[in-house]
Amino acid sequence: MTSEVDETPGMTEALGYEQARDELIEVVRRLEAGGTTLEESLALWERGEELAKVCRRWLDGARARLDAALAEETAGEADAE
């Protein structure tokens, strides 16, 4: 089995968005291709779930930063009037 499935959860937390997304794409590709045992498929699925959570956290963080920047901009415009 590859290291993609064997990585520990702590290492998953350190992944950047692009790294997690790319690995998730590979996990999905492998699952769709088939040819793995039930055990391997379950391990890939679990890894995919972890990677999806990492991606979601990055996207949620980016959304929060955008919302804060827009709120700051709106507040600045209101103060200028």
**Contact by Cβ (8 Å): 17, 55:** yes
Residue 38 vs residues 8, 43, 64: alpha-carbon distances, Å: 20, 9, 39
pLDDT band of residue 80 (cuts 50, 70, 90) is: confident
Note the pLDDT tens digit of each residue in 8-39: 556 777 899 999 999 999 999 999 999 999 99
pLDDT surpasses 90 at 52: yes
pLDDT surpasses 90 at 79: no
The Cα–Cα gap between 8 and 3 comes to: 10
This prediction's pTM: 0.74
